[in-house]
Chains A and B, each alone.
Chain A
Amino acid sequence: MKSRDEIPLRDADQVMRLSRMGSFHQSRLSFMRILLRRMRNENWRFDAPDWHVGADGVGHAVYTVHGPNRAYSLVAFAHDLPDEMRSDRVIATAWDTTFTLFDGIPTDDDIARLAQNVPLQEAGRISSRELTLSRANRSARLWDFVVANLAAGRQPDPESLKTVGYVMRTTAVYGSGKFGAADHDTIQDRPEFAAPFQAEMLTVYLIRCFVMDLLDHSAKCAGGARAVALSPKLRRAMGIGNSTGLGMAPFLVNHPTLLHQWIAARETALARVRQIKSASAAIRGVMLNHAQSAHINAMNWHSQHPIQIAKVTELQSDMVMLCKAIERIGDAPYPWDRLYQWGERDLTSEGLEQLVSILMEPYGDIVDDLADVMSIDESAHFYIDGTQDMRRIKSLIVAHFEWALKTDFSNAQDQARFWYVSAAKLEPRLGERATEQGHELEQPLAIGRDVAALYRAINQDETVAHFLRKHPEHRHILRRVQMVEKFPYAEIRDNLLHADMLPIDMLRCKLSFFGATHFDPRSDRWLRICMFQNAPFPEDIHKPGNWVYPEPKGAP
C-alpha cells in the first residue's frame, strides 16, 4: 500500500482535456506573478518616466527599470488615431499606442530609429537590441468616460470601471525573434528571463504604467487646473486588456515539451500541497481568505458569451461551497488533500481548477521554486531516436493516445475542421473541411488523426530510422510520440479537428499561465482578458499582498 505521502501527479488523461485546460486560472506559477516576485525580491528600481507626450496626446515616453545586472526600457509611442481606424484585428495598420522593450537604456539615435519602425508594427523592423514589439488601443468608451470625469475634477464611478477592468487593451505582444527582435535563446541565460515569457510580461507591466500616466496626462490636458489624477485605488484596479484570437491557439501544439513543463510544474505544486500533513488555524484562515478573494473575483467576472456565463455562474456557486468547505476542514491530517478530493466530487471544472490555484497561495515556500523548471531547451528534445523499435512506438501510442485510436476520423464530425495559415494574414486560421477550400494545405496540428495513421502504418518489426526512411510523411508525428514518453503532459488529449472543438479552451490555458483574469470569450475562437489588474505599481511593488484578486473585507 502506498504511504500517504506519495500523492501522484494527476493523470494526463484527466488534465490534458480541452474542457479542463479551458478552466484553468492564474496561480502563483503564472508568468506575471513570477515576474512581480522577482522584481520585489531583487528590489528592482524604476526610473521616473522620460515623458515627451504633447498636449495633443502624441509623442513618446521611456520607462526604464533596473534589475540587479541590467536595465530594460519600454519605449512607448502615443499616436492620434481616428476612431474609424481603431481595430483589434490583425488587419489594423495603426493603433493608439505602440511599444517596444529595449535591452538597456536607449540613446536618442535608438529612439529615432524606433520611431521609424515601432509605430508600423509588422510593417516595420526592429533589431536584436529590442526584446518585444507591441501595440494597444483604447477601450474608446471607457477611456473617454474616465478622461472626462478626471478632467472635470471628479473620480469616475468605480462600478463603471469594474465591468471592463481596463482602459486600453493590447492586440499583440510579439517576442522571441519576431520582426527582428532578439531571439529568446540569446537572453534565456539571464536569470530574469529564465521563466517563460518574462520579457513579454515586463512589457505589459510597463505598458500599464504608461497607460495610466497617459490617462492622467490626457485628463490634465483636457481639464487644466481643475483636473484630478485617477485615485490610487482605482488606478490599481485597472489592468491592461488583451484581445486574442486564433493566432495564439496553435502555440500549445507547436511547443509540446514547453507545454509539458508548464503543466507538470502546476501539477507538482498541487501534489506538494496535497501532501502537507497538517495546517494551522492561521494557515487555514489564509486559505479561506484566498477563497473569499477568488469568490469576489468570480462575482466581478462579466462575460457576454453563453458558455462562459454558465461557467462563471457555476464558479460563483462553487466558491460559496468552497469557502464553507474550508471553514469546516478542521485539523484532521492532510487537510488539503481532503479538500481537493471533496472538490473533485462536488465542484465543476471551473471550480476545481480554481481550487488548484487557491491551494498554492499560502505555500510559496514549496511552490515558487517550480517557476525555475517551467522553461526548457526545446531543441534538446527535437531529435528522433532512430534506433528505437517500432513495436515500442506502437506501445507508446496505445499508452498515450488511446483517445485518438478510439476516434473514427472517417466521421465527418471528427474531421470537420482544418488548421491552415492564411496567405493574406500569415496567421493561423481554422477552416471548415466540408465547405472551405485549402484543406490540402492543412498545418500539422491534426495530432490525433496523424497518430492514428501512424499506428495503422506500423506493420513490421524494424527500427524507427528504417521506418522513417520509407515513410517520411510520418516523421512529424513520430517525433511527438517519442516526446510524450518523457513528457506526458506534452499533448492535448482531444481531437483538435472536431466540429465542437473550442479554440478558446486552448487560448484560456495559455493565458492562465500568463496570469490573465476575466476571460471573456466573444466567440468560439477569440476572447478578451485582463492582465495585471490589482497588481502593484512600482511604488508599491515591495509591499506584500494578494494582488491578483480583490482583497475581501477584513482580510488580514
Chain B
Amino acid sequence: MTLSRSETVAMVKRGARGAGYSWGMAEEIAAACATLCANGINAQPALSQYLSVIDGQSHRLAIQSWPLTQDHVCPFHLGCFIAESAQDGDVLTFNGVQSAVFLLPYVQRLAAIKGRNLHLRVGDMTVDVGADYIAGDIILDAHGTVVISTRKREFEPLCASPSYPVQYCEVMDRLGQKTMVPESDESRAKGAGA
C-alpha cells in the first residue's frame, strides 16, 4: 500500500507540528518531504527518526545567529534561510547540519532562483541538484559539514515516478495526535453540527 501525495503532505505537516515546529515550518517540512518523494527519494524513515529525536526540542536547532556558530542546526530552518535569502557565493559551507538529506529541496529552490546547477556534499553523500532534478548518492543519515557548490550535472536523476511509501506512518501519526484535541462532553455534543 502507498499513500497519496496529499495524504503524505497532511500527515507530515501534522507530525512536524506535533514535534514542535511552528505551523509555517510544518508546512515547509511537508512540502520538502513531498519534493523528495516526487524525486523518488524515500526520506520517510529519516524524517520519522529525525522528528522523534527532536520532538519538543526543535527550537534548539533553529538558527540562533547568522553566520552560523552553533554545533547543530536543523536542515529545515537552514534550508528555508539559504533559499529565501538567495545565498550567494561559489561555495557555501555549513557545519553541524542534521539529517542533511532534507536540505536537498531547498538547494533545489536555490538552484532555481540562481539559475545554476548545484552540488551538495556531506560525508559520503554527493548529489547534483538542478531546478528540475535531484540526482546522486543519497545517504539518509548523512549529517555534519555540508558544502554546496556550483557544478554541472554528472549523475542521472534517481527516479522518474513519485513514490509515497506508507512506512513509518505510526511515528507521524503519534506526533500528529499531539496537534489534535481530545473529545470533551461539549465537543461531543456539538460535533460538526451535522
User: B182: which of A171, A247, A424, A477 is its contact (CB, 8 Å)?
Assistant: A424
Are A475 and B182 closer than 8 Å at their CB atoms?
A: no
**A245-B191, A382-B31, A429-B190 known; A420 vs B180 contact (CB < 8 Å):** yes
What is the CA–CA distance of A477 and B138 in the complex, to the nearest angstrom? 33
User: B181: which of A88, A247, A431, A469 is its contact (CB, 8 Å)?
Assistant: A431
Indicate if B22 sits at the interface (CB-CB under 8 A).
Answer: yes
Q: Which of B4-12, B89-97, B119-127, B144-152 binds A?
A: B4-12
The residues of B that contact A436 with a CB separation of less than 8 Å are 184, 186-187
The residues of A that contact B194 with a CB separation of less than 8 Å are 88-90, 171, 243-245, 522, 526
**B74-99: which have CB < 8 Å to A?**
77, 80-81, 83-86
Are A438 and B85 closer than 8 Å at their CB atoms?
A: no
User: A429: which of B22, B80, B187 is its contact (CB, 8 Å)?
Assistant: B187
Are A379 and B31 closer than 8 Å at their CB atoms?
A: yes
Are A422 and B187 closer than 8 Å at their CB atoms?
A: yes
The residues of B that contact A526 with a CB separation of less than 8 Å are 192-194
**A387-B85, A436-B186 known; A427 vs B193 contact (CB < 8 Å):** no
Are A178 and B179 closer than 8 Å at their CB atoms?
A: no
Q: A163-205 vs B: 1/0 string, CB under 8 Å?
A: 0000000010000111111111100000000000000000000
Minimum C-beta distance from B67 to chain A (A): 12
The residues of B that contact A247 with a CB separation of less than 8 Å are 192
Q: A428-448 vs B: 1/0 string, CB under 8 Å?
A: 111110011110010010000
Are A245 and B25 closer than 8 Å at their CB atoms?
A: no
Minimum C-beta distance from B41 to chain A (A): 17
Are A523 and B183 closer than 8 Å at their CB atoms?
A: no
Indicate if A324 sits at the interface (CB-CB under 8 A).
Answer: no
Closest to B191 in A: A89
The residues of B that contact A463 with a CB separation of less than 8 Å are 85
Total chain A interface residues with beta-carbon distance under 8 A: 68
Are B85 and A183 closer than 8 Å at their CB atoms?
A: no
The residues of B that contact A243 with a CB separation of less than 8 Å are 194
The residues of A that contact B63 with a CB separation of less than 8 Å are 469
Are A472 and B62 closer than 8 Å at their CB atoms?
A: yes
Minimum C-beta distance from B92 to chain A (A): 14
Q: B19-37 vs A: 1/0 string, CB under 8 Å?
A: 0011111011001000000
User: B22: which of A382, A383, A431, A473 is its contact (CB, 8 Å)?
Assistant: A473
Indicate if A8 sits at the interface (CB-CB under 8 A).
Answer: no
Are B24 and A245 closer than 8 Å at their CB atoms?
A: no
**A444-463: which have CB < 8 Å to B?**
444, 463
Closest to A436 in B: B186
Indicate if B143 sits at the interface (CB-CB under 8 A).
Answer: no
Indicate if A1 sits at the interface (CB-CB under 8 A).
Answer: no
The residues of A that contact B178 with a CB separation of less than 8 Å are 441
Indicate if A142 sits at the interface (CB-CB under 8 A).
Answer: no
Are A431 and B179 closer than 8 Å at their CB atoms?
A: no
Categorize the interface residue count of chain B.
35 or more
**A245-B193, A435-B186 known; A477 vs B24 contact (CB < 8 Å):** yes
Are A427 and B192 closer than 8 Å at their CB atoms?
A: yes
Minimum C-beta distance from A466 to chain B (A): 7
The residues of B that contact A386 with a CB separation of less than 8 Å are 80-81, 83-86
Closest to B76 in A: A472
Indicate if A421 sits at the interface (CB-CB under 8 A).
Answer: yes
Are A384 and B84 closer than 8 Å at their CB atoms?
A: yes
Minimum C-beta distance from A272 to chain B (A): 34
Closest to A384 in B: B84
User: B84: which of A177, A438, A468, A473 is its contact (CB, 8 Å)?
Assistant: A468
What is the CA–CA distance of A436 and B4 in the complex, to the nearest angstrom? 34
Are A476 and B187 closer than 8 Å at their CB atoms?
A: no
Indicate if A113 sits at the interface (CB-CB under 8 A).
Answer: no
Minimum C-beta distance from A373 to chain B (A): 23
Indicate if A498 sits at the interface (CB-CB under 8 A).
Answer: no
The residues of B that contact A425 with a CB separation of less than 8 Å are 191-192
Closest to B179 in A: A441
Q: A134-177 vs B: 1/0 string, CB under 8 Å?
A: 00000000000000000000000000000000000001000011
Closest to B24 in A: A475
The residues of B that contact A441 with a CB separation of less than 8 Å are 178-181
What is the CA–CA distance of A90 and B190 in the complex, to the nearest angstrom? 12
Closest to B194 in A: A245
Are B182 and A438 closer than 8 Å at their CB atoms?
A: yes
What is the CA–CA distance of A461 and B1 in the complex, to the nearest angstrom? 50
Closest to A249 in B: B192
The residues of B that contact A464 with a CB separation of less than 8 Å are 84
The residues of B that contact A479 with a CB separation of less than 8 Å are 24, 27
Indicate if B177 sits at the interface (CB-CB under 8 A).
Answer: yes
**A476-B27, A479-B27, A525-B193 known; A437 vs B181 contact (CB < 8 Å):** yes
What is the CA–CA distance of A115 and B6 in the complex, to the nearest angstrom? 24
The residues of B that contact A429 with a CB separation of less than 8 Å are 181, 187, 190-192
Minimum C-beta distance from B165 to chain A (A): 13
The residues of B that contact A287 with a CB separation of less than 8 Å are none
Closest to B188 in A: A424
User: A523: which of B83, B84, B193 is its contact (CB, 8 Å)?
Assistant: B193
Minimum C-beta distance from B94 to chain A (A): 13
The residues of A that contact B53 with a CB separation of less than 8 Å are none
Indicate if B158 sits at the interface (CB-CB under 8 A).
Answer: no
Minimum C-beta distance from A526 to chain B (A): 3
Minimum C-beta distance from A169 to chain B (A): 11
Provide a sorted-by-A list of 8 A–B residue pairs whose CB atoms are within 8 angstroms: A180-B2, A245-B193, A383-B84, A386-B84, A386-B86, A441-B181, A465-B81, A479-B27
Interface residues of B (CB under 8 A from A): 1-7, 21-25, 27-28, 31, 62-63, 66, 77, 80-81, 83-86, 109, 177-184, 186-188, 190-194
Interface residues of A (CB under 8 A from B): 88-91, 125, 128, 171, 176-185, 243-247, 379, 382-387, 420-432, 435-438, 441, 444, 463-466, 468-469, 472-479, 503, 522-526
The 5 closest A-B pairs by CB, nearest first: A475-B24, A386-B84, A245-B192, A526-B193, A177-B4
Q: A422-B180, A423-B183, A526-B192 are in contact. List 6 more A-B contacts (CB 8 A).
A: A178-B4, A382-B31, A421-B179, A436-B186, A474-B22, A524-B193
